[in-house]
Amino acid sequence: MKRLVLLLVALLALFLFGCGSDAESKETQASEPEPTVVTEDQKSAFTAFETEINDLSARQAELFGLVAEAEGKMTAGEFTALDMYELADIAEESANNIWTAYGDVEITDVYSKAHKEVLKKVVDDLEMSAFLHKEAYGAYKKYLDTGSLEEANQFNDDIESSQQYTMAAAVGITQVKMDLGIE
């Protein structure tokens, strides 16, 4: 099920953001040598890599879900603005921890140069996604402090941008996964 969702996200990202001009893709295809042999070490390393980033991504999604749920409760009068501020503060700290954890994700030397570059970009994209979540929760706290519509818009903009980075990462993961022949 996770794999299907990952593939759907990758396809959605390709649909929304395109995949470059035909000339670009032909040029890229011609300049990237095809790997001659896919090893079990590569597959094993990728599986460990994917598990690690999926765990971090799941924590980030769960955190966002909790904040969204609490926002609904605040609207319904079940949470106060102070409750939301405290939750946003915890969310900001948690998102910072996730952002830092992405920096600790290792990309081993078993991959081809092209795959290492793609996986490095995946990690960079996911780091940026987590950073934007952290920034979004900070903006949300400012919104709760000031009532500024600008801060509320900043929260929404940061979350939207974060999702774009996450989709770009999903495309990279899917690309390497397909190249390695992993279902």
pLDDT tens profile 113-149? 999 999 999 999 999 999 999 999 999 999 999 999 9
Would you say residue 23 has pLDDT above 50? Answer: no
Cβ neighbours around 12 below 10 Å, total: 13
Q: Are 129 and 169 in contact (CB under 8 A)?
A: yes
Cβ neighbours around 99 below 10 Å, total: 21
Q: Of 158, 167, 166, whose CA–CA distance to 18 is shortest?
A: 167
Task: Return the higher-pLDDT residue of 17 and 57.
Answer: 57
Tens of pLDDT, residue by residue over 27-39, are 444 445 554 578 8
For the entire predicted model, the pTM comes to: 0.76
Would you say residue 173 has pLDDT above 60? Answer: yes
Q: What is the C-alpha R_g of the chain?
A: 19
Distance CA(27)–CA(10), nearest Å, equals 22
Q: Are 89 and 121 in contact (CB under 8 A)?
A: no
Taking the alpha carbons at both ends of the chain, their separation in whole angstroms is 11
What pLDDT is attached to residue 39? 86
* 89: CB partners within 8 A, 6+ apart: 137, 141
| DSSP assigned state of 175 | H
- Mean pLDDT over 8-30 rounds to 42
